[in-house]
Structure 1
C-alpha cells in the first residue's frame, strides 16, 4: 500500500461568507514536509459589486511563508512592506513572514468585473534558523515556474526542486510543490526525492496504485517507494512535500516552534504593535477570542 492516509476537505468559513476546503492541518497529520496549512478556495462565481465582507482584511503572520496559487480569477495583495500586487492564474505570490508581516487579500477585480474564483493557499513553516528572518515578498511568473508536458500530463513547478527542475521562488528548506493537469489515462510517477509527500485532487478522479482518489481528497504517501498515479478522468492535481522541519505550533495565523513566541505575537497584534499594510490601514481582523492571552488575576 503506497498511501498512508486519506484526508477529506472540511468546509471552513473565513468570514463574510467566504468558504474554503481545509486539508492541513489535520488531527491525524499536522504537516507534510514543511507544509503546515493547505486550503482549497472555490470554485465560486462572484458577481460584480460583491460585498467587501468577502475580502480577507489585514491580518498578521509569523514563522511561515504563504503561497497563493490561482486557477481562475484574481486577488489583490497588500502588505506592511508596501507591496501591492494582483495575483493571476499560474502566477505565484510568495510571502515570507519571518519575524512578522501583515497583509490583506481582496477581490478588487471581481468587485468591478465579476469573476470565477478558484485556487489554493498553502503555508510553509520556516525552519528553526529562519523563523525570525526579515519579512519578504516576491512575485513569480514565466521562467521562475518551470513547465513541462509529456504523455498527457502538463506540469508546473511552483516552488522548490523536483524531477530535474528548480523553481525561482526563494525557499528556506528542501521542498517541492507541483501543479499537474492530466487527461484521462495519463500517468505520472511521484519520486522518492523527499521524505514526506502528498497529493491533492482539485478536480477529477485518480488511481494511486489501485486506490481511487476523488476531488476534494488528499493522499499522504508512504515514504520510500515511487508512487504511480493515473487519471481516471480529466484531473487537476497538486503534489507537494519536502523534508520535515520539526514540530510546529499554530495559533490563529501564527506558526512557531515556540508556544511562548505565539503568545508574544498574539499580544503584539492585540496591542496593535504590528504595522498594517501600506494603503490599507483603515480596518483589520481583531485577535479572535480563541487566541487571546489568558487574563492575569
Structure 2
C-alpha cells in the first residue's frame, strides 16, 4: 500500500525559521502536480524579532503557491497589489503564471509574538497554463468545505474528494485536504487520482501495517484506501494527475529549461516588478552554478 516513505529534511530559511522539505525528493520529485512541499515550523517567535525571519520579495513562474497555516499569521504582499494577512485555516492561492513577486513577513509575531506552524505547497501548472496571467485569491476559513464525521474534522482546500468540491480555482485535476483526527479515528484516502500521498504534520497514523510519524510523507499505491490515527494527529492528503516533465530552479518551475534561464536573467537584471507595498528588500538570484534540478512528473 506504500510506494515510498519520504522523511522531511530540516533546513533553515534564515533567522529562527526552519522548514521540513519533503518535495522535491531525489527519488520522487512530484505527487500529481505537487512539485514542492515545505512544513513550516512549528516555531515560537518572540515579540521584537528582527526581519531576518521574514521572506523578502522574490519571484515565481509556472506554478501556483498554496500557503496554509495551522497556527500563527503571515503578512502577504505581491506585485498585483494584494496586501493581507493569512491566518489559520485560510488559504492563499497565488498563481504565478508568466511571473509574480511576493513577500511573506511575520509582522504579528514582531509586534506581540506568535507560534508559526503551517505548510507551503507548490502546484505545477499544465503546459497550456504555464504562461497564464498571474492571479491571487484569498479564501477565508469558511469559504472552503469543512466536515465533521467519526472523530475526524476535515477541510477540503482544493479539488474534489469526500463527495465535496472546493471552490479554489485549480488548473488540473488534484485534491488537497487537511484532517484533524482523534486517536483511533479512521479516514479515507481519496480515490480516483493517479498519484496520492499522506503527510503527517503532527501525531502518528497507521497505513496498513506501517506507522507514519510526524514529518513523514507516504506516497501510496492504488490499493491504499484509509489511515488510522494512532494518536491525535494533523494530516495532509494530496495528489492528482501528472502534468508532465518539469524543471525547477530556485523559485521557478517550467517545462522549458530555456524559460528558466530567461526568468533567472530577468530577475538578476531587475526586469521583474516588485510588490509596490514591499519594494525595499528582495532576495537576490542564487549562484547560477546551482541550476536546473530536473523533475519527473
Q: What pairs with 1:38-187 in structure 2 (closer than 5 Å)?
A: 38-187=37-186
Q: CA RMSD in A?
A: 1.1
| Aligned with residue 232 of structure 1, among 225, 230, 233 | 230
What SS class does the counterpart of residue 199 from structure 1 fall into? Answer: strand
CA distance in 1, matches of 2:290, 2:38: 24
Deviation at 1:142, TM superposition (A): 4.1
**Alignment partner, residue 12 of structure 1:** 11
Assess if the C-alpha contact under 8 Å between 1:35 and 1:124 holds in 2.
yes
CA distance in 1, matches of 2:253, 2:51: 27
| Aligned with residue 285 of structure 1, among 283, 286, 290 | 283
What SS class does the counterpart of residue 111 from structure 1 fall into? Answer: helix
**Alignment partner, residue 264 of structure 1:** 262
CA distance change for structure 1 residues 141 and 117 in 2, over 3 Å: closer, same or farther?
same
Assess if the C-alpha contact under 8 Å between 1:191 and 1:226 holds in 2.
no
**Alignment partner, residue 219 of structure 2:** 220
CA distance in 1, matches of 2:280, 2:178: 36
CA distance in 1, matches of 2:190, 2:282: 43
**Alignment partner, residue 294 of structure 2:** none
CA distance in 2, matches of 1:238, 1:5: 16
**Alignment partner, residue 240 of structure 2:** 242
What SS class does the counterpart of residue 32 from structure 1 fall into? Answer: coil
CA distance change for structure 1 residues 205 and 30 in 2, over 3 Å: closer, same or farther?
same
What SS class does the counterpart of residue 128 from structure 2 fall into? Answer: helix
**Alignment partner, residue 253 of structure 1:** 251
Deviation at 1:89, TM superposition (A): 0.2
CA distance in 1, matches of 2:128, 2:81: 25
Deviation at 1:282, TM superposition (A): 1.1
Deviation at 1:16, TM superposition (A): 3.0
What SS class does the counterpart of residue 14 from structure 2 fall into? Answer: coil
CA distance in 2, matches of 1:225, 1:208: 11
Assess if the C-alpha contact under 8 Å between 1:38 and 1:120 holds in 2.
yes
CA distance change for structure 1 residues 292 and 208 in 2, over 3 Å: closer, same or farther?
closer
Deviations 1:247-281 (A, max 9, x none): 11100000000100000000000000000012111
Deviation at 1:198, TM superposition (A): 0.2
Deviation at 1:144, TM superposition (A): 2.8
Deviation at 1:191, TM superposition (A): 2.9
CA distance in 1, matches of 2:52, 2:83: 20
Assess if the C-alpha contact under 8 Å between 1:97 and 1:135 holds in 2.
yes
Unaligned runs of 5+ in 1: none
CA distance in 2, matches of 1:67, 1:80: 17
CA distance in 1, matches of 2:177, 2:198: 9
CA distance in 1, matches of 2:77, 2:194: 35
